[in-house]
Copies of this chain bind each other. A is one copy, B any other.
Amino acid sequence: MQKLFNVLNKLMESGEYARLKDELNSEQPVNVAEYFEELTAEKQLFVFRLLTKDMAADVFSYMDSDTQEHIVHSITDREVRNIVDEMFLDDTVDFLEEAPANLVKKVLRNTDAETRKLINRFLNYPENSAGSLMTIEFVKLRSSMTVATAMKQIKQTGTDKETIYTCYVIDDQRKLIGVVPLRTLICASDDETIEELMQEDIVSVLTTDDQEEVANIFKKYNWMALPVTDTEGRLVGIITVDDIVDVIEQETTEDMEKMAALIPSDEEYLKTPVMILAKNRIVWLSLLMVSGTLSSMVIVRYSSLIETVVILSGFIPIITDTGGNAGSQASTMIIRGMALGEIQLKDVLKVVWKEIRVGVICGLALGLMNMLKMTLVNSDAGFWVNLSVSVSMALVVVLAKTIGCFLPILAKAFKLDPAMMAGPLITTVVDVIALIIYFTLAAIFVL
C-alpha cells in the first residue's frame, strides 16, 4: 500500500496531474480511500476532484467518517448531488447516520423528493435491524416474463444494482413470490418463463429483525443475498453477504468487549476519546469492585485463623486466580458455542455434566501438581497447609467449571446476553466460594 502512496505522492509533487488522475481512477476504490487518510485536508479536496463521478462515489463510500464529513463540507451542492446520485442508497444512509445535522441538510437538499423519502424511511429503521442493513437496488422480475425479457431488463438496468446475481420475483402487490439466481437464467433457454424457473420456497427476513439473526441465516445457507420484506410480505430490500461480514465482526467484537467487562462501543479504538473509553470501563470495574467486598468479608471472618497461621494468606491469590481461570475457560467455551449456535438451552444438562467431569480431571491434576510443587518449594509452610491449599484448589476448579458453564446458560434462559457471564464476573463469584472452601479446610486441617 505504501508503495502506491509513494507513487501518487510523487506525481502530485511533480505536478503531473494528468497521470495522477489516470492512476487514481484505475486503482481499487478502497485503496484510494485509504490514500485520503494520508493527505492534508486541502490535498484531500484536490485529489477528490480528480476522480470521475463513478469513482468519486465509490471512494467516498469507503472513506472514514471524518474524511467524508470534510469532503461534503467543502464541495459544492452540485458535486454533492453527483455523489449521492451515484452512491448506493445504503452507503448514503450509512454516511448520514454519523454526519452532523448541517451536512445531513446539505445532502438532503441535493436529493430528489423520492430519494429523500426513502432516506428518511431508512434512517428510521432501528439500529442493527435488517432494515438498516438492506439496499433497495436489486433486480425485480415478474413471474410472467420469459428468460429473454428478464435478461434484457437485467442488461439495461444491471449496472445500477447492488447485485444482479440473485433476482427477486414480485406480484402486483409487490409481494415476494419467488427467487431466481442469475445462473438459472443464464443456463435456461430464452422462452422459458420466470414462473417455471423461480424457487418459491423462500427464506426472507423482516425489516425489524435483528442483524445477528440475519447473519445466522447467511451462515447457515451460504447465500449471497437475502430478501427483506415488511410485515405484509412486500419486498422492500435485500441484504448482501459483504455487509454480513461486517455484521459478524461487529457482533463478535461486542461479545468480546462484554466478556472483558467493557460496555461495548462501535467506534474504532484509536478514534475513541479517552473520556469515553474510561466511561465504558468504569461501570463494570466499580460494580465488580463493590461485589468484591464479599471476599473481604470472608477473609475478615477468618482473621483469627490467619493471625495464628499467617502463611495461609500467602496462598489466597493462587487459589482465587486458578479458580477464576478455570471458570473463564468454561464460560468462554459455552458463550462462544452458544453464539455459534452449537450449544442450545436444551443442552444444559449435557454441558454441566461434561464440565463436572472436565473439572474433576483438571482439579485432580492441578491439586496434585500443586501439592508436589509446594512440598518442594514451600516446605516451611508445613504438610497441613500444603494439603489445605491443594485440596481447595482441586475443589475450586470443579466448582469454577460448573459455575462457569452454568451462568451463561442461565443468562440465556432469562433472555440476557450470555457474554456478560464471562471471566471477570465468574472470577468475582468464584473468589468468594474459593475463599470459604480454603479457610474451612484450613481450619479443619491446620488447627
Contacts and interface: CB of A to CB of B under 8 A. Distances in A.
A321 B292 contact: yes
Contact of A303 (B164, B220, B313): B313
Interface string A236-267: 00000110111011001100110111100000
A245 B247 CA distance: 11
Interface stretch (A11-19, A46-54, A123-131, A330-338): A330-338
Given A261-B328, A299-B314, A219 B245 contact: yes
Contacts of A248: 245, 248-249
Contact of A274 (B223, B333, B358): B358
Interface residues of A, number: 112
A118 to B, nearest CB: 22
Given A224-B224, A307-B307, A361 B278 contact: yes
Nearest to A265: B333
- Kindly name the residue among A288, A296, A328, A350 whose own CB sees the greatest number of chain B CB atoms within 10 A: A296
Interface in A134-162: 151, 154-155, 158-159
Interface stretch (A35-43, A98-106, A168-176, A364-372): A364-372
Interface in A394-435: 397, 423-424, 427-428, 431, 435
A197 interface: no
Contacts of A259: 256, 332
Interface string A303-341: 100110011011111101110111011011110110010
B274 A361 contact: yes
Contact of A377 (B164, B242, B293, B431): B293
Nearest to A224: B224
A257 B314 contact: no
Contacts of A324: 321, 324, 424, 427
A285 B241 contact: no
Contacts of A65: none
A292 B324 CA distance: 13
Nearest to A331: B260
A362 interface: yes
Contact of A249 (B340, B365, B366): B340
A75 interface: no
Given A182-B165, A277-B354, A332-B259, A314 B303 contact: yes
B332 A275 contact: no
Contacts of A275: 361
Contacts of A282: 361-362, 365-366
Given A289-B366, A318-B293, A342 B268 contact: yes
Given A292-B318, A317-B296, A187 B201 contact: no
A321 B428 CA distance: 8
Task: For the complex of A and B, list the 3 residue pairs with the smallest distance between their C-beta atoms, beginning with the closest.
Answer: A260-B332, A278-B361, A313-B313
Interface of A: 26-28, 30, 151, 154-155, 158-159, 164-165, 182-183, 186-187, 201, 203, 218-224, 241-242, 244-246, 248-249, 252-253, 256-257, 259-262, 268-270, 274-275, 277-278, 281-282, 284-286, 288-290, 292-293, 295-297, 299-300, 303, 306-307, 310-311, 313-318, 320-322, 324-326, 328-329, 331-334, 336-337, 340, 342-343, 347, 350-351, 354, 357-358, 361-362, 365-366, 369-370, 373, 377-378, 393, 397, 423-424, 427-428, 431, 435
5 contacts: A28-B221, A222-B245, A249-B340, A262-B333, A293-B377
